[in-house]
Amino acid sequence: MAVNPGDADADELPSMLWGLDPDFSAYSRLYITDILQMKESRQVPGAYFYKTHPIFKVDVLGTVVYKREREDFYCYGVDDSTGVINCLCWKDEKCSDHGGSTKCKDPSGSSRGFNIEDELKRLTEAEQKSTVLEIGDLLRVRGTVKTSRDAREISATSSYKVNDPVMAVHISRMLEMPQLYRKCYDQPFQMPRDDLGGTEAGGSSRYHYLLSRSVLTLKEFFLEKEVARFRPYDVEFLLHPLIQSSSESDQPGTSFATQIRNLLKETLSVLQDEGQIFRKIQTQDEVYNVTEQDKDLHTEIKDVLREDTKREKYAEKGCHVLHILSSVRQGYSQNLSQEMLEVALTFLECNSDITSTTEAHYTVL
Amino acid sequence: MLPPPAVFHFLWEINTDLVKDGASVRTYGRLISYKPEGSKAVLSGQQSSAQCHVSVQTTLVEPFQPTLGAQYFVLGEIEKTDGLTGVILHARALSNVDGVDLTLMQKAIREQRCFFKKRIPEINEQAPHCEPSYVKKL
């Protein structure tokens, strides 16, 4: 299915803002079919999106239809009538130790007094009973969603068998879920309004949101199109949909063009501070290099490492980041900052071109 | 490896074309007979004034304590034979749920179905007439 890259980029909420969505921090009660189908986030592996909401923790209730026991955990297949998912319920190590110890019941009648050891033992046994289930039992699981070998599963943080003799729990869950979907999960995520009043304060949270959105858009554009160098007006068009979609103007009285220019300036400044882009030569012509795509920079770094690690001084430990920085500055560009170098070094390390010997030393492979 | 999800159906729907051969279902009904030799049980349900029966094969869920006249919840696969036996439900899970509020149960199932139908309008699964109860209250 051909997807317009512009739309796809605007789809996901930037990860910096996920904490603002209450559904992200709560154990979301989604139908298992939705848990199985929700797409994985492009920004952070391990997080998923149901419509506009970032999700990584869920709460399911269903019938156990499959059971597998391993040394450390039970794997229960849970069916809630919309889908079936594997839930990994870890065994409690404390319980297994207790089982080995000898029973020390007081034969003269433990009804007199409160024997703490017996009570603790009874508590542990009750806990164990509630976590070992058979097929047909009702299980409640709260845990994180994981994808392992192309299959989604839930790694339980807590799970227990539900005693439901008249199906009251089952029924109330069935009644509650559509309400939750209507009120929360199917509602599009809204940025919380800043109620401090005044355009300045009121606009700041929205502007911050816009800025993080535009930074993300540009980063994804560089990656997708493998952009090595660009000028600001080359990427201006990417910010148009962001300004158009914001309902009120941030600074009333300013034109669309001015807003775009301001946003672009801020965005480029943020990207420079992060080290993602840099200006090789400070001229009137504003040309930016994209750190991860600049092959000349990578070659320069590798050459520096190759030459210097031949020397006895650096042979074993590798070169320190600051040493590499000063060498590359001399050989390539005076405008290189440490952040930019670190971005390039991390990229090269991920590509297995170089390796780090300590946290700040690198050597060539 | 995992079995398919068992969709909720009413007992009277199982005998109709709404439920296909081999489908995984969950349903509930009153236990009116049980033959341990053949592992056969019969559940009965009532819609309006009509009674309907479904045979349940209980091989996989034995032994269980049968209480005639009690409501049971069952989950399993449907087998439709052309012969005299009609429809058989091969139970994978069976539990006594005597005391369940039948009206509330029906309402819950219908509301859930209504919700699913609205979500996926192009896949019109069940045709049962659906009226969300919250609309009625207004």
pLDDT tens for residues A31-75? 999 999 999 998 888 899 998 899 999 999 999 999 999 999 999
**How far B62 CA lies from chain A's nearest CA (Å)?**
12
- What is the pTM for the complete model shown? 0.66
Structure tokens at A221: 């554009």
Same topology for domains A201-291 and A294-364, yes or no?
yes
Q: Do residue A174 and residue B100 have CB atoms under 8 angstroms apart? A: no
pLDDT tens for residues B104-136? 999 999 999 999 998 876 444 444 445 444 444
Cβ of B75 under 8 Å from any chain A Cβ?
A: yes
Nearest alpha carbon to residue A63 among A43, A48, A83, A88: A83
- Please state which CATH class domain B7-100 belongs to: mainly beta
Q: What is the CATH number of domain A294-364?
A: 1.10.10.10
Q: Do residue B2 and residue A32 have CB atoms under 8 angstroms apart? A: no
Q: Between the CA of residue B30 and those of A32, A137, A176, A276, B66, what are the distances in Å?
A: 29, 20, 26, 68, 11
Q: Between the CA of residue B93 and those of A9, A20, A192, A272, what are the distances in Å?
A: 46, 42, 46, 61
Q: Do residue A136 and residue B92 have CB atoms under 8 angstroms apart? A: yes
Mutate to test the interface with A, among B28, B73, B74, B123 (most CBs of A within 10 A): B73
- The least confident of A40-49, A341-350, B77-86, B89-98 is B77-86
Mutate to test the interface with A, among B7, B75, B117, B137 (most CBs of A within 10 A): B75
**How far B115 CA lies from chain A's nearest CA (Å)?**
6
Per CB-CB distance under 8 Å, the chain B contacts of A68 are none
pLDDT tens for residues B6-50? 999 998 888 887 888 889 999 999 999 999 888 899 999 888 778
A190 vs A271 pLDDT, higher one: A271
The pLDDT, as a whole number, for residue B73 is 93
The pLDDT, as a whole number, for residue A197 is 41
A-to-B residue pairs, Cβ atoms closer than 8 angstroms: 80
Domain A201-291 CATH (choose: 3.90.1650.10, 3.40.50.1100, 1.10.10.980, 3.40.50.1860): 1.10.10.980
Mutate to test the interface with B, among A175, A176, A182, A184 (most CBs of B within 10 A): A175
Per CB-CB distance under 8 Å, the chain B contacts of A88 are none
Q: Do residue A136 and residue B1 have CB atoms under 8 angstroms apart? A: no
What angle in degrees, to the nearest 10, is found between the helix axes of A338-350 and A256-274?
Answer: 70
b/e code B51-77 from CB counts within 10 Å (16+ = b): ebbbbbbbeebeebebeeeebbbbbbb
Chain A residue with the nearest C-alpha to that of B95: A136
pLDDT tens for residues A137-180? 999 999 999 998 888 999 999 999 999 999 999 999 999 999 99
Domains of chain A: which residue ranges? 15-91+128-184, 201-291, 294-364
Round to whole Å and give the CA distance between A151 and A281. Answer: 49
The pLDDT, as a whole number, for residue B74 is 93
Round to whole Å and give the CA distance between A84 and A63. Answer: 9
The pLDDT, as a whole number, for residue A103 is 47
Facing residue for A166 by CB, picked from B3, B92, B97: B97
Average pLDDT, chain A: 83
b/e code A93-121 from CB counts within 10 Å (16+ = b): eeeeeeeeeeeeeeeeeeeeeeeeeeeeb
Round to whole Å and give the CA distance between A169 and A118. Answer: 32
Q: Is A183 exposed, middle or buried (0-12, 13-18, 19+ CB in 10 A)?
A: exposed
Per CB-CB distance under 8 Å, the chain B contacts of A165 are 96-99
pLDDT band at A129 (very low <50, low <70, confident <90, very high): confident
pLDDT tens for residues A304-313? 888 888 888 8
Q: Do residue A174 and residue B7 have CB atoms under 8 angstroms apart? A: no
The pLDDT, as a whole number, for residue A201 is 43
Nearest alpha carbon to residue A278 among A349, A351, A333: A333
Round to whole Å and give the CA distance between B111 and B134. Answer: 9
At the topology level, CATH places domain A15-91+128-184 in: OB fold (Dihydrolipoamide Acetyltransferase, E2P) (2.40.50)
**How far A86 CA lies from chain B's nearest CA (Å)?**
8
Interface residues of A toward B, Cβ cutoff 8 Å, are 32-33, 63, 65-66, 77, 79-86, 135-136, 164-168, 171, 174-175, 177-178, 181
Residue A276 predicted with pLDDT over 70? yes
Rg (CA), chain A: 28
Structure tokens at A181: 């979907």
